[in-house]
Amino acid sequence: MEITTAQVFSGLAGQDPDVLFSALPTPCYVIDEKQLERNGTCLAELAKRTGCKVLLAQKAFSNFDFYPLLDGCLAGTEASGLYEARLGKEEMGGREVHVFCAAYREDSFEELLDYADHIVFNSPGQLRRFGTKAKQRGKSVGLRINPECSTQEGHGIYDPCAPGSRLGTTRELWDREMTEELVGFLDGLHFHTLCEQNADDLARTLEAVEKRFGEFLPRMKWLNMGGGHHITKVGYDLACLEKTIAYAQNTWGVEVYLEPGEAVALNAGYLVSRVLDVIENGAVPIAILDASAACHMPDVLEMPYQPPVYCADADPARGYPYRLAGPTCLAGDVIGDYSFPRRLKGGDMVLFGDMAIYTTCKNNTFNGMPLPDIWKLDKEKQLVRLTQFGYEDFKRRLGKGI
C-alpha cells in the first residue's frame, strides 16, 4: 500500500508550486481545502454505507478553521483532554464530543463534563473514581480495553499493545477489578491499537477483542474501534473494513465508532520551506532549510519517517543528492536524504507533503524558532492567511503571562 510522491501531491496537479507559493513567507504550512473535502467525502460515504460513525481525532488535526468544511462529513470529534474537548464542542457544535485520557484530573473533570458526550476511562480505578459523576451528568461511559494484539512493525512508540503498555485494560486486570457494578456502568468498550494501517490489521485485532472480551460485548451499546485506520489512502481495503464493521454490528448489536485523525487530513497539507545554505561534509551535500524536523515536523524524528518532497526522490542515486536538515542546534535535526533534478542553492523552495497531520498541533519553538504561519489553499487555488505568529507567541509561553 505504498503511496507515490505524485499521489501525495495530487492536489497540486496542473500547478507549479514555485509559482503558486512564491510569495509565501517561509516556513509555513498550507492546508489544501479541496483535498480535505475529498477525504471528508470518503469518510461520509463510508458512514452512509455501513451505519458507523466517524469522529475526527483532534490529536492529529485540530485546525478548527476547517471544521465547518468537515462538519457535514463527520459525527463529531475525539479529544485526548480538556482543551481538545472544549475545542470540539465550540468549533464543531452540535456534533458528538468523545474523550479518552489515560488518567483524568479531579480539578478539571467537572469542566470536562460540560463539553463531553462520551467519556472513556483507561482503567477500572478511573472508572470507579469518576464513573458515577459522568453518569449523573448523563454521559455515555466507556472503558478502553487492551486486546494484547500487536500488529505494528517498527513503530514501537505507537504500539498500545506492547508489553507493559499503560493504555487500556487487559483481560487479566478486568478479571481482577471489574465488579458487576462497574460493568453495569459501561455503555461501551473502546480499543485503539493501529497506526497508519490497513483494514486487515483491524480485522485481526477484532478477533483478539472477541476472544478476550466477546462475552461482554452483547451488553454494550457501542464499540469504538479507535484510530490509525488509513481509510483515505490509495489502496486501502475498504471492503475489508466494511466487512469488519458489519461483523461487529451483526454479532453484538453495537453501534460502531471509528476515530481516525490522519485519514481525515491525509495529504491535505504542505510545509513550504526554503534553502538557507548548502554545506559540504562528506559525500552528500547538506542543505540547511528554514524548516526544522525537531520544531515543525516532530514525527520525522519520533516515528521516525522520511516525508515526501515535491520533485525529489528518496533514492540519492537518482539525481543530485542532498541531505535536508534544519537550522537548530540539535545535531540530529535531519529530515533525510533526497535527490533532486537540479542542484540546490540558497533561496530554492523545498516543499514537503502530507504536512496537515501531527504538525501544527505538535510543533514547538525550541531554539526560539518561530511558529510557521498557517495558510489555506481554497478550492479556487487562492491562498488565505489564517495565522500570524511572532515573537510574542514564543515569549508568552515562558513567563510574565499574568
Closest C-alpha to 188, from 112, 260, 106, 127? 127
Q: What is the pLDDT of residue 315?
A: 78
Nearest partner of 37 among 305, 379, 289, judged by Cα: 379
pLDDT at 317: 74
Residue-level pLDDT at 2: 62
Residues of the chain short of pLDDT 50, as ranges, are none
pLDDT score for 4: 80
Q: Do domains 5-31+268-395 and 51-265 have the same CATH topology?
A: no
Top CATH class, 5-31+268-395 = mainly beta
Strand 286-289 to 320-325 pairing: parallel
Q: How far apart are the first and last CA of the chain?
A: 50
Dist. CA 307–CA 291, nearest whole Å: 13
The cell for 295 is 520544531
Nearest to 93 by CA among 73, 108, 118, 71: 71
Rounded-to-5 percentages of helix, strand, coil across the chain: 35, 20, 45
**pLDDT value at position 152?**
85
pLDDT of residue 1: 54
- Residues 286 and 325: beta-carbon distance below 8 Å: yes
Alpha carbon distance 185, 133 (integer Å): 11
Distance CA 379, CA 361 (A): 23
Nearest in space to 70 (alpha carbons), one of 99, 47, 51, 86: 47
Residue position matching grid coordinates 478550492? 379
Answer yes or no: are the C-beta atoms of 124 and 178 closer than 8 Å: yes
* Domain spans, the chain: 5-31+268-395, 51-265
State the Cα–Cα distance between residues 315 and 306, nearest whole angstrom. 12
Task: Measure the CA–CA gap between 347 and 41, rounded to whole angstroms.
Answer: 38
Structural domain 51-265, CATH architecture: Alpha-Beta Barrel (3.20)
